[in-house]
């Protein structure tokens, strides 16, 4: 594959730079675009049609990857899907996460917590796909509960119920890839801003690869050693062709 990647360390630095005093993006702005990108990738891979199932399960983790998932669910609803969000460990980092949950309620999107029976939504006859917004580039193995059990349940159904991973397939080492033997294998990966090294491992797994998070100019991309991706028109994602 010829696409450039940046390490987990550089990805965190890039984020900090974008939200630093000089550039001044807010987390809320970037998360909105990230979540919108993922929803667009879902729409491209699993086009919405009134005549078929439209339920999407979004599993949201405790950090910003989870926040991307909360935003994604709202856009999925606007695109015509029926999202259900499982959010077992809610972030208290900022009140923004509470606001995102309130917005989901405003859209009448169910938000399940750790005590709810989320596994009922793992039925491939009723659910189109699962959005994995559990962990992104700040994940450090080994996985702690309740997420270990959640990943195990996702792994059991992944051949019947496709997983769409946000930025990093959860449980994968960001730089090394699927080092743990029981990792989930997503059918779709949406890398945000620029792929991380683990994305190089997906080609052999027949995973569709998108890049989203279209928020940097060429000069900034070049500063981090990559070229802007070939987004078309107003699209928030671009599918990378396997080589
Ligand atoms: N510029 C961009 O591309 C943007 C990307 N965004 C998204 O943000 C994530 C990175 O978000 P961050 O909050 O830094 O981290 P994560 O969501 O990956 O995870 C942090 C939380 O996960 C917990 N954690 C970490 N390791 C484990 C583990 N082994 N077991 C259980 N829990 C774990 C961690 O808990 P701590 O107790 O360790 O603090 C955190 O709660 C990036 O990937 C993108 O998806 C933004 O939307 C902005 C733009
Ligand atoms: K993820």
pTM of this structure: 0.97
- Beta-carbon count within 10 A of 210 CB: 25
According to the model, what pLDDT value does residue 241 have? Answer: 85
Candidates 233, 177, 241; CA nearest to 209 is 241
According to the model, what pLDDT value does residue 175 have? Answer: 93
Range 111-116 contact pairs with CB under 8 angstroms and sequence separation of 24 or more: 111/85, 111/87, 112/84, 112/85, 112/86, 112/87, 112/88, 113/87, 113/88, 114/88, 114/89, 114/146, 116/86
Q: Which residues pair with 166 in a beta bridge?
A: 190
Residues belonging to the chain: 243
According to the model, what pLDDT value does residue 123 have? Answer: 97
136 CA → ligand 2 middle, Å: 5
Annotated binding site for (6S)-NADPHX: 64-68, 136-142, 167
pLDDT at 131 over 90: yes
Specify the CATH architecture of the domain 8-240. Answer: 3-Layer(aba) Sandwich (3.40)
Q: Using N-to-C axis directions, what is the helix angle for 27-45 and 64-78, rounded to 10°? A: 50
231 to 195, 215, 235, 236, 240: CA distances (angstroms) = 15, 11, 6, 7, 10
State if residue 5 touches ligand 1 by the CB under 6 angstroms criterion. Answer: no
According to the model, what pLDDT value does residue 205 have? Answer: 72
State if residue 131 touches ligand 1 by the CB under 6 angstroms criterion. Answer: no
Residue by residue, what is the 3-state secondary structure of 147-189?
Answer: HHHHHHHHHHHCCCCCEEEECCCCCCECCCECCCCCCCCCCEE
Asked if residue 109 lies in contact with residue 77, where contact means CB atoms within 8 angstroms, the answer is yes
Give the pLDDT band of residue 243 (cuts 50, 70, 90): low
Atom of ligand 1 nearest to the CA of 141: 29
State the alpha helices, DSSP H only, in 79-146: 96-106
Q: Cα 123 from chain centroid?
A: 21
According to the model, what pLDDT value does residue 61 have? Answer: 97
State if residue 169 touches ligand 1 by the CB under 6 angstroms criterion. Answer: no
pLDDT at 75 over 80: yes
Characterize 144-153 residue by residue with b for buried, 16 or more Cβ atoms within 10 angstroms of its Cβ, and e for exposed: eeebeebbee
What the block records as the tokens of 104 is: 């989901």
pLDDT at 114 over 60: yes
Reported ipTM: the value is 0.97
State if residue 61 touches ligand 1 by the CB under 6 angstroms criterion. Answer: yes
What is the overall mean pLDDT for the chain? 94
Q: Structural domain boundaries of the chain?
A: 8-240
Backbone angles phi, psi at 132, to 5 degrees: -90, 95
62 CA → ligand 1 middle, Å: 7
Backbone angles phi, psi at 170, to 5 degrees: -60, 135
- Beta-carbon count within 10 A of 91 CB: 20
According to the model, what pLDDT value does residue 58 have? Answer: 98
Higher pLDDT, 101 or 50: 101
pLDDT at 82 over 70: yes
Give tens-digit pLDDT for 13-56: 999 999 999 999 999 999 999 999 999 999 999 988 888 899 99
Cα Rg of the chain, angstroms: 17
Asked if residue 68 lies in contact with residue 167, where contact means CB atoms within 8 angstroms, the answer is yes
């Amino acid at each position: 594959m010829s696409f450039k990647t940046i390490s987990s360390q550089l990805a965190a630095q890039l984020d900090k730079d974008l939200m630093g005093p000089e550039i001044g993006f807010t987390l809320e702005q970037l998360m909105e675009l990230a979540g919108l990108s993922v929803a667009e990738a879902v729409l491209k891979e699993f086009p919405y049609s009134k005549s078929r199932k439209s339920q999407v399960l979004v599993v949201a983790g405790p950090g910003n990857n989870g926040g991307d998932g909360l935003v994604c669910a709202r856009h999925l609803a606007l695109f015509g899907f029926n999202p259900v969000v499982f959010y077992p460990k809610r972030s208290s980092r900022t009140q923004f996460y509470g606001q995102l949950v309130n917005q989901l309620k405003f859209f009448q999107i169910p938000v399940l917590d750790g005590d709810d029976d989320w596994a009922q939504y793992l039925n491939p006859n009723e659910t189109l796909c699962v959005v994995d917004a559990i962990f992104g580039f700040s994940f450090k193995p080994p996985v702690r509960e309740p997420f270990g059990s959640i990943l195990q349940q996702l792994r059991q159904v992944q051949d019947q119920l496709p997983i769409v991973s946000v930025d990093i397939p959860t449980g994968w080492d960001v730089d090394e890839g699927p080092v743990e033997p029981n990792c989930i294998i997503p059918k779709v990966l949406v890398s945000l801003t620029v792929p991380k090294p683990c994305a190089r491992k997906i080609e052999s797994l027949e995973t569709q690869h998108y890049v989203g998070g279209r928020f940097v100019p060429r000069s900034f991309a070049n500063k981090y050693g990559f070229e802007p991706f070939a987004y078309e028109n107003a699209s928030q994602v671009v599918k990378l062709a396997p080589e």
